[in-house]
Structure 1
């Protein structure tokens, strides 16, 4: 079950303070909580997460066990770095209200975000990429659903700067510990 729960928790935490959740909240506020937007969020999360988990399974046979652990450490460090990277203050303008355009923007952002990189690493480290994809989809989809439901209150109710800083520190510390474990320095 770690193949399911680790990606679920990691992706939920990684996407919590990211641009994707903020964008979904802003679009939900602008489009009036459109249910089709929520469906697009879940579909893009499922597609992006499944693609990277499958990619992780394809990489897994090429890596030695220590390499897999170092890959997880690199993913944790990348997640931490993404969370400390400053976000734009201004909300993007959505001129078309096209769900297709929104889906492309969300998909492009999700394929390259820290949550998907963590799922990729966990897909490499575990033998069950399907469970990693399911966990990553559930974690990301749940956070995007909360962002969608809160709309403009997303940034008002959540201390996003503090959350991003705390999560970044947690991911970087975890990356150091995992890397030291992979190198045989600890544990």
Structure 2
């Protein structure tokens, strides 16, 4: 249950102000909050969390314990570094109404974002990766739903980038300690 809760909370918090949330918020403003857009965004969040959790669990199962711990540290470091990049979206000139195109863009953007790296890391250490998949999917879906509900104009009013910087620093410190523990652990 701990893996579920930690993954749920971290995925939601780290996804605030992320590229996928901002893209959904931008489309939500332009397309007047259609239900299809929400369903596409939520499906992409669930699918990307499942894919990253499965990848983390599968790769960690092939590695010795210390190497798996180092894998978790590297995934958290990548997540922390990704949080330091500003999210810059171009204004839409002509909004597309193709949910398939929107879904592909959202899905591909989520594979390189910090929230999915956290899902990958937690799945690599989880006893039951299904809980990590559920937590990551629900956290990502909640962030997508929030972006869809409030829109980009409202999200731009809040200093979400400062929160991303804070959590990026926290993830880098956690990665450092996990990496040092994996490197210098006596077994």
> What does residue 39 of structure 1 align with?
39
Q: Residue by residue, what CA displacement relative to the aligned partner does 1:44-84 show, whole Å, maximum 9, x if unpaired? A: 11111111212222212211222222112111111111111
Is 1:178 the counterpart of 2:178? The answer is yes
CA distance in 2, matches of 1:143, 1:159: 16
TM normalised by structure 2 equals: 0.90
> What does residue 84 of structure 1 align with?
84
Residues 111-122 of structure 1 mapped to structure 2, 5 A cutoff: 111-122=111-122
CA 1:6/1:37 → structure 2, altered by over 3 Å: closer, same or farther?
A: same
> What does residue 161 of structure 2 align with?
161
State the superposition RMSD in angstroms: 1.7
Query: Helix, strand or coil: the match of 1:167?
Result: helix
CA distance in 1, matches of 2:94, 2:144: 18
CA distance in 1, matches of 2:93, 2:7: 32
CA distance in 1, matches of 2:149, 2:10: 21
The farther-off stretch of 94-103 and 104-113 is 94-103
CA 1:28/1:104 → structure 2, altered by over 3 Å: closer, same or farther?
A: same
> What does residue 110 of structure 2 align with?
110
CA distance in 2, matches of 1:17, 1:181: 31
Paired residues of 1:12 and 1:143 also in contact (CA < 8 A): yes
Alpha-carbon shift at residue 92 of structure 1 (Å)? 4.2
* Structure 2 residue runs without a partner (length 5+): none
TM normalised by structure 1 equals: 0.90
Q: Residue by residue, what CA displacement relative to the aligned partner does 1:5-27 show, whole Å, maximum 9, x if unpaired? A: 22212212221131111111111
CA distance in 1, matches of 2:95, 2:33: 17
- How many pairs does the alignment contain? 184
Paired residues of 2:23 and 2:89 also in contact (CA < 8 A): no
